[in-house]
Amino acid sequence: MPKINFVSADGVTRTVDIPAGWTLMEGAIQNGVDGITAECGGGCACATCHVLVSTPWAEQLPPMTPAENDLLECTAVPRSPQSRLSCQIPVTGPLEGLTVHLPERQT
């Protein structure tokens, strides 16, 4: 299981094991990571699982879909070039050590 690092808005890092094939959002919810609301349960319909992915990791992620791109315009914290929805990022072995930053709020 790849280890994924979630950094809260106040700088605290929480590392969790997430099974390959799950999404970052599923792993965060199942491990009680604060800062991921996921109101739609991963249906790419609410933008409450917004994360910020650092540039070197962003290149290893699947491309953003048009639906994800549209929803990122609706985040509680302004979108940045590193913005992604964690429900749209499947965990794979090469993402071992991925670090994502959580915005100060989701709603």
Phi, psi dihedrals of residue 85, rounded to the nearest 5°: -100, 125
CA-closest candidate to residue 64, choices 47, 89, 40 = 89
Helix (H, G, I), strand (E, B) or coil at 5: strand
Model confidence over 68-105: pLDDT tens digits? 999 999 999 999 999 999 999 999 999 999 999 999 99
Domains of the chain are 3-101 (3.10.20.30)
Q: How far apart are CA 84 and CA 88, in angstroms?
A: 8
| pTM: predicted TM-score of the whole model, two decimal places | 0.95
Q: Label residues 63-82 b or e (16+ Cβ within 10 Å = b).
A: ebeeebeebbeebeeebeee
Model confidence over 9-62: pLDDT tens digits? 999 999 999 999 999 999 999 999 999 999 999 999 999 999 999 888 999 999
